[in-house]
Chain A
Amino acid sequence: MSTPSSPPKKSWSWRSQAFRGLLYQVIAIVVVLATVLYLAHNTTTNMKLRGIQSGFDFLMGPAGFDIGESFFAFDSGESYWRAYLVGFVNTLRVAVVGIILTTILGTLIGVGRFSRNALIRGLCTVYVEFFRNIPVLLQLLMWYLMFTEVLPASNEPLVFGPFFLSKGGLNFPIPEWASGHVWGAWGLLAGIVGAVLYRSYATKSFEQTGRVKSMFWAPLAIVLGGGILGWLLGGAPTALNVPVQGEFAIENGGALTPEYLSVLLGLTIYTAAFVSEVVRGGIQSVALGQSEAAAALGLSRGQTMRLVMLPQALRVIIPPVTNQYLNLTKNSSLAVAIGYPDVVSIANTAINQTGRAVECIAIIMLVYLSTSLFTSITMNWYNTRSAIKER
Chain B
Amino acid sequence: MSASTFQPIEARPAPVKTDGLVAWIRINLFADWKTTLGTLLIGAALLAILPRFLNWALFHAVWVPHFEACHAEGAGACWGVIAEKFRIIIFGRFPFEEQWRPLLATLLLCSLLIVSCMRMAWKPVLGLAWILVLGSFFLLMGGGVAGLSKVETDRWGGLPLTLLLSSLSMAMAFPLALLIALGRRSKLPAIKTFCTIYVELIRGVPLISVLFMASFMFPLLMPQGFNIDVLVRVLAGITLFAAAYMAEVIRGGLQAVPKGQIEAAATLGLSYWQTQRKIVLPQALSMVVPGIMNNFISTFKDTSLVTIVSLYELTGSMSLALNSDADWRPYKIEGYLFIALIYFGFCFSMSRYSLWIEKQVNKSKLR
Contacts and interface: CB of A to CB of B under 8 A. Distances in A.
Contact of A344 (B42, B208, B220): B208
Contacts of A29: 190
Nearest to B37: A117
Interface string B252-270: 0000000000000000110
B222 A135 contact: no
B348 A145 contact: no
B286 interface: no
Contact of A119 (B39, B204, B220, B347): B39
Contacts of B333: 142, 145-146, 149-150
Interface in B311-344: 315, 330, 332-333, 336, 339-340, 343-344
Interface stretch (B2-10, B107-115, B128-136, B302-310): B302-310
B28 A46 contact: no
A348 B305 contact: no
B339 A138 contact: yes
B194 A28 contact: yes
B189 interface: yes
Interface string B333-367: 10010011001100110010000000000000000
Contacts of A138: 304, 315, 336, 339-340, 343
A373 B222 contact: no
A357 B269 contact: no
B187 interface: yes
Given A133-B347, A333-B206, A368-B206, A4 B191 contact: no
A284 interface: no
A120 interface: yes
Contacts of A137: 304-305, 307-308, 315
Interface string A268-292: 0000000000000000000000000
B67 interface: no
Interface centre among B305, B333, B348, by most chain A C-beta atoms within 10 angstroms, is: B305
| Interface size bracket, A side | 35 or more
A336 B42 CA distance: 37
Contacts of A380: none
Contact of A330 (B39, B42, B188, B205): B205
A271 to B, nearest CB: 13
Contacts of A120: 38, 42
Contact of B204 (A141, A149, A347, A369): A369
A357 B224 CA distance: 17
Interface string A25-56: 11011001000000100110111010000000
B205 A43 contact: no
Given A138-B339, A138-B340, A357 B191 contact: no
A173 B39 CA distance: 34
A365 B205 contact: yes
Given A39-B221, A344-B208, A357-B220, A25 B336 contact: no
B209 interface: yes
A358 to B, nearest CB: 6
A21 interface: yes
Nearest to B213: A361
Most buried by B among A28, A39, A135, A368: A135
A361 B339 contact: no
A348 B336 contact: no
A42 B305 CA distance: 28
A49 B339 CA distance: 44
A357 B209 contact: no
Nearest to A376: B204
Given A32-B194, A344-B209, A368 B204 contact: yes
Contact of A149 (B191, B268, B297, B332): B332
Q: Please name the 4 residue pairs, one residue from A and one from B, whose CB atoms are nearest each other, closest first.
A: A118-B28, A4-B269, A25-B190, A133-B347
Interface of B: 24, 28-29, 31, 35, 38-39, 42-43, 46, 187-191, 194, 201, 203-209, 212-213, 216-217, 219-224, 268-269, 271, 274, 297, 301-302, 304-305, 307-308, 315, 330, 332-333, 336, 339-340, 343-344, 347-348, 351
Given A25-B191, A123-B42, 17 more contacts: A4-B268, A46-B219, A46-B222, A47-B220, A117-B38, A117-B39, A118-B28, A132-B347, A134-B301, A134-B343, A141-B315, A145-B336, A334-B206, A334-B308, A357-B220, A364-B206, A373-B204
Interface of A: 1-2, 4, 21, 24-26, 28-29, 32, 39, 42-43, 45-47, 49, 115-120, 123, 129-130, 132-138, 141-142, 145-146, 149-150, 330-331, 333-334, 336-337, 344, 347-348, 351, 357-358, 361, 364-365, 368-369, 372-373
